[in-house]
Each structure stands twice: as structure tokens, then as C-alpha cells.
Structure 1
């Protein structure tokens, strides 16, 4: 039995009751060490396997092997396990097994949703989520998605905007989108969404974009043509007559 658990942005109050129950039921917890630090109090006394970046395949294979031995396993993902998390990989690997394990995907609060709540209501209308990481997706495909999403005037949520190895991807993304996104388009930046005192948020226009404040813990939300600011809130109208 494998639970693929989305633990949200960090902290027990942002976890669903289903996620808490799944971890409590589990004999073993497997996850990326950065995410496990948010739930150390919940996994005390359990068998724990933690590893670093680029070890996703090994983590999931380990979870399947442990499940085969009769263990109840929780595979932990930050945010939602089905959005850039471990749910897809677990299912892919399990589909190749002769004896398949029972898998339950436990939903969590993804970064775009958490950041949107911190900003106000920026994703009230049609939106899309694009990762700027080209570790597994060719940059040419990411460029095409950015261009088409901007042309369609989606609200665009950018995951993985910047890292030590990808210092210019976010700036390139804005250059691509600038063909269709006006300079006055509202942009929200949230660092450490849903993490209390660690949280930082900024609201500015497309032309004023500050690339230097962004890193891998940042969610960038670019509004559509109707998105506006009032007080310190970013709002995208749904279209109600008021």
C-alpha cells in the first residue's frame, strides 16, 4: 500500500485531514529531505528514507519495494503530489510491475493556489501552470507554451522560475511573453508561500518585474488584461456584473 501525499506548502495547518491520516497510518515515510523537515513532528518513530534532488526515481522505486514487503508507505511531495510531484512517477513505475501495488494519491495545496491566497484573488479566471525547469522538458517546448499562453491571455503561474543553474530563464520567459503581455499587466511574486514568517510577497507591473528577488522557492503569477490592484491585493475579475 502506497499513499502519495501532498503536504501543501509547509506546516500542519495547510495539510488536509486525509494527508494527516495517511501519514499516521504509514509504517514508512519516503521523501525529499527539504519537504520532510516540515513534518518531522508527524513522522517521529517511523521508518524514514530521505534523499536529495534528482533522486526521485530511486525514491519511488524504494517505496514500491517497501510496499511489496507489506509495509504501508507514504511518499511525500511538497504542494500537491499530482502537480510536479511524485504521483505520476509512482504510477508510471507501478504500471511496469508484474504485481502492482495499491496506490492512493492524497491531494495537497499546490504552490500556485497558496501564493494566490497570499496575493488576493489573481487566478479567478482561466489560468495555466508552467514550470521553467528544463531538466526534463526541452526549453524549446517551454518557450512555445509561454508564447501560446500569453497570446491566449491566460493568467500564468510560473513554477521553478530561477535556480543557481538557471539564472536567466525567468528573464527569457518575460521576453517571450512581452509580445502579448502589456507592460502594465499586473505581476505577483510570492516567496515561501504559506510558510508564515518566511513569506515574502511583491506586486508590480510586467515592466517593473524584479527578477533578482526570485529563486526556487518563488511563485510568479502574471495576470491577464483584466487583472488589477486594489490596496495591496491582486485581483482577476471572474466577469460578474456588479
Structure 2
């Protein structure tokens, strides 16, 4: 036997109680036999039994010897059966090679075989031979996208719950890792990729480079270098690796490059003050920070716990016009990004005055609208109009607008016995008493503390047989209120927030484009 294989046998794992057979878990790389390691190739040539997925077996058939080897092919979903067969052959004294595409230790057969062995009373010796992983092959075709810290995440939820995948994806993006996404989309799994794209677009600049590599180093190979703004929903499948750059990644000569840090940055980013008060403020601040801006994220009240992204400092406390103007001057603030709640009229006026006083550009963000295009959604300009609109419905209507406006609805609908007004409110004694004084009984109050997920809102709609809901378009969790209503055919009355004469706000992308295009980093 070849000396290299003899050396490998000295590095095996197993309890040695299962005859004299061995299992080699062989990473075959992307599929080109010329990219097999010497040890992997020798293990495949010397194995008496070779077990693997039939599609992968075809990639290496040129170096197999079916006249003297037992070739066992299995379907894609039969990983446990492959591990079980390998153990049975090895315990009969055979040398078995279990093949895995890419590297067997990265979403491959290595863990399957070891987990099966750990469940047995005895196991043969097991050798793992590395291969070129799919993310390495894809990266080589794109240029140098993985030259700094990166995270590999599979979007397949067949074995991992989707909420956990989504949590890891968001954490990796916020930490400014380059992403290597496996299993992005299949015929049965469409929504996962759509949701992943939404998360990427929320947290990444629209000009963040993206590499889409299909069948790297195989027949039918395709390589596309694009960006987040032009990421097509149908551009990927199960044979695709998606590489999403970090805040420093760039494209040069049709290659995607992530700097390692050997060359110092050519300039320092702009100073930006982000006025918080909405959950989107932290996202905006972190996006700007990842692009190199030096961001101060300001809250009126003590802020939520971190961590906050690179380049983001947090302060809290109320502003007055003179104090904010002095802060802008002393700190050299180049931009104000107003991410406050639409109802926070006082700080918005203060910020606009201070911006004019110090000649600092003021950018006002506006939450994206689109739900108004739904047939079941009716937009109105006031609570009085919303109350009038409810008169066309019968049964239970639910107010998700809080206690402050409740009197408008109870007064407007008091003469309509066909409508039962219900309200969701905080379980505070003074709030419950106020609702009771306005004529609501206990069965009309949904007293609870948030956060309110779409699933919870849907359960409430079902439990109380809601016919219409009233929401404010400035609500932080608008989608989680509206989407379950639309899914159930429930009408939505949406009260628009007052613009107070201010110009229409900007989107995340538009704000980022203005700041960095003006600062010399053209991303738009």
C-alpha cells in the first residue's frame, strides 16, 4: 500500500473493536478530479468499497475501478443510510471510502459518519481526508472575496429551524462578516431565499458586491459578479454559492475583492448624527458605520442594550436647539439623519433648526410604504376619518392605535349597535380605567405587553373574530399587524401620520447614497 496511506492510518479515530476495516471520508472537492488531493485520490484507488450520492459518483467515475471495487450509490437524502452501510462494510474488514462533495467536514458526510459511529458499541477506524470546499471554489472564481473574516451559512431549513438560520444571518451581517451562503434555493424552498434577500437589503449597502457562482469547476459553470441592489431572486439554486461582501469589499476588473487590511484607507469617513427612537435607527447607524462613517446614534431615553456595530457611538438625553447646534459644531458633524418616530415633532423641529444654524444637511427617513396598494387597505388622514370608515363594517373591530385616540372611536360609533369596538392596550390600572370610563367592558379590552409578532397578532384576530383593524402607518411593527390581517381577509384602516409640512422622507438607500456620494465614495 502507498506510503501516504500508511501515514494516514496513524491518524485514525475509532475504538478499534470493529474488525480491521477502515472508513475514509473523502472530500472530492468541486468535482474536477484534477483538484483531488493526492491522499484523497490514493484512498479512492485503494478502497474496496466506495459509497456516495450517485450525482457525486459520476464526477469521479474516471478514477474508479468497478471491476474490483464495490460501488454503492444512494440518493441525495439518504445520508444516514450511507453512514450505516459504511460501518457495516468496515466491520466486515473492508476499506470503505465515503465520498462527499467539497470538503466532507463542511455540510458534508463527516459528521454523519461520526455521529453514527458514536451511537454504536464498536466502530472501525475513521480517516477524514479534506477537499476543496464549495465556498473556496466559488471564491477562487470570483477573485478574493474571503480574504477577511467570513461566515458560512446554509439557508436550507430541512435540518435547522428557519428562525435560527435567520438569527445567525442577521448577526453575521451586523458583525460585518463576508457571507458564504450554501443551499440558497430549491424548488420546494422559495421563501427562505426571499427572506434572506430582504435581510441582506436591509442591513447592507445596495452597492455591496455579490458573487453568484453555480457549478464551480464543473460543466455548466457560471459566475456572476453583481451587487445587493441588482440581486435577482431567480438567479440561484441548490448548485449555487452566494458570496456577499462586507462593508469594505469592492469590485475591480470584474473581480470581487475583500481587503485584508495591508493598505491603509485613503480617507476617514464622514461624521454622522443619527437621531434614534425607532428600531430602524440602529440598523441605519450600523449600515453607515460599516461603510466607514463615524456615527453617533442618539436616543432621548436610555438606549436598548448593544452590541452596536463598528463605528457607532451611542449617547442618550434630550436635545434643545442650542445644545444640538453646539454638538454639531463641536463634533464636526457633517450630516444629520433623522430616524425618529413620525410623531416626535419636537425633536424634528429642533433638528431642522440646528441643521440650518450650522449649515449641516438634514436627511429625514420615512418608513417604506407599499401596503396601501392592497385592496383591503384604506388610508385615511385622521382618527375621525378612520372611525367614519368603520361604520361600514359589522362585528368586532380592533383598534391597534393605543388609548389616546380611543375616545374618538367610542363617541363616533356609540350609536351603531352592529359594531363592537375592541382595543389593545397596556395592562395598567389607569389605562384600563380610562377605557372602562369610555364604555368598554372587559371583553372589549385586549390588555397585554408586547412585542407583538405576526403570529401573535394573527392569533388575536382569530380568537376575537376581528372584521377590521385600525393601525397607524407610523407604527414600528406595522407589517406584523397588517400582513396577518390581509392573510385572513380582514380590512385594514391605516391612519396616516402628519407630515407637518416637511418634505417627503428618504429611504435607507437614498440616505446612504447622499452621504457617501457627496463624501467621495460613489456607491449610487
Q: TM-score, normalised by structure 1?
A: 0.97
**Following the alignment from structure 2 to structure 1, what is the Cα–Cα distance between the partners of residues 166 and 77?**
23
**Following the alignment from structure 1 to structure 2, what is the Cα–Cα distance between the partners of residues 107 and 63?**
18
Structure 1 gaps, min length 5: none
Whether 2:255 is the aligned partner of 1:221: answer no
Greater relative contact order (CA < 8 Å, ≥ 6 in sequence): 1
Does structure 1 conserve the Cα–Cα contact (< 8 Å) formed by 2:52 and 2:73? yes
Residue among 89, 94, 111 paired with 1:88: 111
Superimposed CA distance per residue, residues 186-231 of structure 1 (whole angstroms, 9 cap, x where no aligned partner): 1000010111x52101111101101212111100000001100111
1:166-177 correspondence runs (5 A): 166-177=189-200
Q: TM-score, normalised by structure 2?
A: 0.45
1:178 partner SS? helix
Whether 2:20 is the aligned partner of 1:17: answer no
**Following the alignment from structure 1 to structure 2, what is the Cα–Cα distance between the partners of residues 99 and 167?**
42
**Following the alignment from structure 2 to structure 1, what is the Cα–Cα distance between the partners of residues 197 and 176?**
14
Whether 2:70 is the aligned partner of 1:60: answer no
Residue among 106, 125, 145 paired with 1:122: 145
Residue among 228, 232, 241 paired with 1:210: 232
Residue among 77, 89, 97 paired with 1:74: 97
**Following the alignment from structure 1 to structure 2, what is the Cα–Cα distance between the partners of residues 181 and 101?**
48
For these two proteins, the number of residue pairs brought into alignment is 241
Once the two structures are overlaid, the 10-residue window that deviates more, 107-116 or 45-54, is 45-54
Superimposed CA distance per residue, residues 163-203 of structure 1 (whole angstroms, 9 cap, x where no aligned partner): 111123222102123332111111000010111x5210111
**Following the alignment from structure 2 to structure 1, what is the Cα–Cα distance between the partners of residues 147 and 233?**
25
Superimposed CA distance per residue, residues 35-63 of structure 1 (whole angstroms, 9 cap, x where no aligned partner): 00001122222101101121100110010
1:199 corresponds to: 221
1:145 corresponds to: 168
Superimposed CA distance per residue, residues 102-160 of structure 1 (whole angstroms, 9 cap, x where no aligned partner): 00001001111000000000000000100000000000100000100010010000000
**Following the alignment from structure 1 to structure 2, what is the Cα–Cα distance between the partners of residues 151 and 36?**
39
Deviation at 1:162, TM superposition (A): 0.7
2:163 partner SS? helix
1:31 corresponds to: 52
Does structure 2 conserve the Cα–Cα contact (< 8 Å) formed by 1:162 and 1:169? yes
Whether 2:120 is the aligned partner of 1:97: answer yes
Larger Rg: 2
Whether 2:27 is the aligned partner of 1:6: answer yes
Does structure 2 conserve the Cα–Cα contact (< 8 Å) formed by 1:120 and 1:233? yes
2:152 partner SS? strand
1:165 corresponds to: 188
1:236 corresponds to: 258
List structure 1 runs of 4+ shifted beyond 3 angstroms.
none
1:179-190 correspondence runs (5 A): 179-190=202-213
Does structure 2 conserve the Cα–Cα contact (< 8 Å) formed by 1:14 and 1:194? no
1:41 corresponds to: 62
Superimposed CA distance per residue, residues 72-118 of structure 1 (whole angstroms, 9 cap, x where no aligned partner): 00000000000000001111111122222100001001111000000
2:224 partner SS? strand
Structure 2 gaps, min length 5: 1-21, 265-524
**Following the alignment from structure 2 to structure 1, what is the Cα–Cα distance between the partners of residues 207 and 132?**
30
Residue among 105, 109, 113 paired with 2:136: 113
1:198 partner SS? coil
